Structure 1
Amino acid sequence: MPNYAIKIEYDGRPYHGWQRQRDVPSVQGTIEDALSKICPTPVEIQGAGRTDKGVHALGQVAHVHLDKEWQPFRLNEALNFHLRPAPISITACAQVDNDFHARFGAIERRYVFRLVSRRAPVVVDAGWVWQVAYGLDIDKMRAGAAHLIGKHDFTTFRSSICQAQSPVKSLDELSIEEIPSRTGIEYRFTIRARSFLHNQVRSFVGTLERVGAGAWHPDQVREALDAKERAACGPVCPGHGLYLDEVIYQTDPFAGP
C-alpha cells in the first residue's frame, strides 16, 4: 500500500487535541473522516505529535497508507475539498517510502508559544495568544530558561497522566524573543527537542511567566527542576498560545527529487 506524508495546519480551538477520541472532535478524526470520502477502506493516520486541546499547528506532519496510488497534488486537493469548512488545511503532500513514520522518524520538533502583555483585551489575536495584563521581565525569563537547556529528568514539568516511559529528555533550545507592538509586547518562546513529555512546553512557559512577573526568582526554576516533583512546577499555561511549528526529519519528505 503506498505511503503518503502530509503537512497540516490547523486551528486547535474546536478540537480536543490531535488524537482521535470517542464522542469529541479531534484533528486526527476530522482528517480520517475526509479520507473516508475518497478511500473505500478505513484508514488511520499517524501524526508526529499529539497536540493537546486548543493547541494549534503550522507544521504538523502525518503519514497514511492508502489502498491505491494518488498523485500527491490530487490527494492534497481532494483532502482539502473534503475538509471544508473545518479549520484544517493540508499544506503539502508527498509519496514516501513505506517505512517512513511521521512520529518515530522525526529527529526534532519545534514549538512556538505566543504570550502577549497588554492591559486592553486582545481582539484580533483572541484564541491565538495567551494574554496577561502586566509587564514581564524578559531578562529574568531568559535566566530561568537557561536552567532547562540540556539533558534532564523533567518529572517536575511532566503531566501526571504522561505515558512516556522516561522523564529524561534533552532540550535543545528554549529562547524568548520580545516583539513590541502598538498596544503591547509579545513574548515569543521557541522550544526545540527531539521529543517532549505531556504538558512539558506549557509547564515551561507557565513557570517562566511567573519568573517574568517577579513571583519567582530565576534560580527557583533550577530548584523546581531538581525537585523532580510535579508539585514544584509553576502553573500550566493555556493551550491556545501554543503552536506545533515544524517537525524535522533526516531527509525532508516534502523536498521532492
Structure 2
Amino acid sequence: MRAFRLAYDGRPFYGYQRQPDVPTIEETLFDALRSLGVMEAVDDKPAGYAAAGRTDRGVSALSQTVAFDAPTWLTPRALNSELPKTIRAWASAEAPNDFHATHHAVRRTYQYSLYAPHEGDRRTGHDAVVDERAKNALERLCGSHDFHNLTPDATGTWRGLSGRMQREGSFLQLWFAAGGFPRELVRRLVTVVHSVADGSMPIDRVDRLLSEESVDGRYGVAPAPPEPLILTDVTYPQIRFASDPDACTSSVRAFSEASTDAQIRHRTAETIATQIEHGCEY
C-alpha cells in the first residue's frame, strides 16, 4: 500500500469525486493509472483505494491524500508523467496494508484567501471590513459545536473546530482545522466571518447559528465562492511522507506558470478597468 500527496488546481474540474460526463480529479487520476498499467481498463478503481476527502467543484488542494496498492516503481514522478499540469503528485509514503486514507485521517486543514480590503473596493462593491470584528467572529465559531445551520448535511454536524486568521494586504487568510468537515461548512464559515467583518451580520447572530434551533431562510448563510479554498493538509500520525525532488520541481514549475498566467490576466483586466474609469464620468 502506498499513499500519495496530490496538489491540484480545482477550477477546471467538477470536484474531486467521479461524476458521469464531466471532468473530475478522481477520474483523471484513474485515467493516469490505467495509462501506466496500474489499473486495467475494466477496473472501477485501484485495489485498496481511498482518498482523504471529496473537495467540491472549484476547490483546490495542496495535500489531498490518496492510497492504494501500487507497484514499487510508481513514484510521484512516474505518476505525474500521465497527469495534466493541473494535478501534481509530489510526495509519497509506504503505508500498512490496512491503511485507509479517509478513516485514518485525524485532522484536515483548509485555507481560504478572502478578498477583504480594509477600505473596501468601490469598483467591485466590496464593503470595508474591520479585522477585529472578523477575529471576534472566528473566535466564536471555534470550539466544539453542532454546525447543523452551516451545512446541508443532516448527520456528522458536530465538530471540534480550530481556526486562525492573518492579514495579507487586501486579503484575510483564514485557516480552519477539524477531524472532518460536513459539506460546505468551511465556505459558510468564511461567509459568517466576512459578514461580521463588513457589518452586514451582527456578532450575536453567530451564537444564533450555533444554537440547536434551526434558522429560517432569512438568516441562512450561503457558501462563499469555492475558488479561493485550498485543502492544505491532512494529518496521519502513523504515516511519514517523503517528497520526490523531481516531482516537487515539476509541481513548482506547473503552479508557478499558472500563477504567472493569472498575474497576466489580472494586469490586463486592471489596465482595461483603469482606462475605462479614467474615460468615464461618475
Q: CA deviation at 1:49?
A: 1.1
SS at match of 1:82: coil
> Which AA in structure 1 matches 2:214?
K
CA contact (8 A) 2:92 2:242 kept: no
CA distance 1:145–1:117, change in 2 (3 Å): closer
Instruction: Name the structure where helix makes up a greater proportion of residues.
Output: 2
Structure 2 counterpart of 1:241: 228
Residue 134 of structure 1 and its aligned partner are, at CA, apart by 2.8
Match of 1:151 in 2: 144
* One-letter amino acid of the counterpart of residue 70, structure 1: T
Inter-CA distance 30–151: structure 2 relative to 1 (3 Å threshold)? same
Aligned position for 2:209: 224
- Residue number in structure 1 paired with 2:247: none
Where does residue 200 of structure 1 map in the other structure? 185
Q: Is the 2:149–2:209 Cα contact (8 Å) retained in structure 1?
A: yes
Letter of the aligned partner of 1:213 in structure 2?
Answer: D
Residue 131 (structure 2) aligned to one of 127, 130, 138: 138
Residue from 55, 60, 66 that aligns with 1:56? 60
Q: Deviations over 1:90-132 (max 9, x none)?
A: 01122211111111000100000001235388xxxxxxxxx87
Q: Write the mapping of 1:56-135 to structure 2, written as runs, cut at 5 A.
A: 56-66=60-70, 69-71=71-73, 74-84=74-84, 86-118=85-117, 119=121, 133-135=126-128
CA-to-partner distance for each residue in 1:28-72, whole Å, 9 max, x for gaps?
110011001122432344210110000000111111124xx313x
Shift of 1:207: 1.6
Q: TM-score, normalised by structure 1?
A: 0.84
Preserved CA contact (<8 Å) 2:62 2:233: yes
Counterpart in the other structure of 2:167:
178
The answer to whether the 8 A contact 2:95-2:239 is kept is: no
Equivalent runs, 1:4-19 vs 2, <5 Å = 4-19=2-17
Matched residues in 2 for 1:40 and 1:167: separation? 36
Q: 1:103 to 1:230 in 2, by over 3 A?
A: farther
2:155 pairs with 1:165: yes
Residue 76 of structure 1 contacts residue 92 of structure 1 at CA under 8 Å; is this kept in 2? yes
Give the distance between the partners of 1:14 and 1:111, measured in 2 at CA. Answer: 19
- Change in CA separation of 1:132 and 1:195 when aligned onto 2, cut-off 3 Å: farther
- Number of the residue aligned with 2:32: 34
Aligned with 2:56: secondary structure? coil
SS for the counterpart of 1:243 is strand
Q: Which runs of 4+ in 1 moved over 2 A?
A: 40-45, 117-121, 131-134, 227-235
Partner of 1:34: helix, strand, or coil?
helix
Q: What SS does structure 1 have at the residue aligned with 2:33?
A: helix
Deviates more, 1:55-64 or 1:222-231: 222-231
Q: Confirm or deny: 8 A CA contact 1:116 1:132 kept in the other structure.
A: no
Contact 1:210 1:234 in 2 (8 A): no
Q: Give 1:228 shift.
A: 3.4
Q: Deviations over 1:178-205 (max 9, x none)?
A: 112xxxx110001010111100000000
CA distance in 1, matches of 2:168, 2:180: 27
What is the TM-score with the length of structure 2 in the denominator? Answer: 0.77
Q: Distance in 2 between matches of 1:115 and 1:220?
A: 20
The amino acid across from 1:21 in the alignment is Q
Secondary structure of the residue that 1:217 maps to in structure 2? coil
Residues 46/132 of structure 1: CA separation in 2 closer, same or farther (3 Å cut): farther
What is the number of equivalent residue pairs in this alignment?
232
- Give the fraction of aligned pairs with identical amino acids, expressed as a percent: 29
User: What is the SS of the residue equivalent to 2:31?
Assistant: helix
Kept after mapping to 2: 8 A contact 1:207/1:236: no
User: d(CA) in 2 for partners of 1:168 and 1:105?
Assistant: 19
Structure with larger Rg: 2
CA contact (8 A) 1:157 1:204 kept: yes
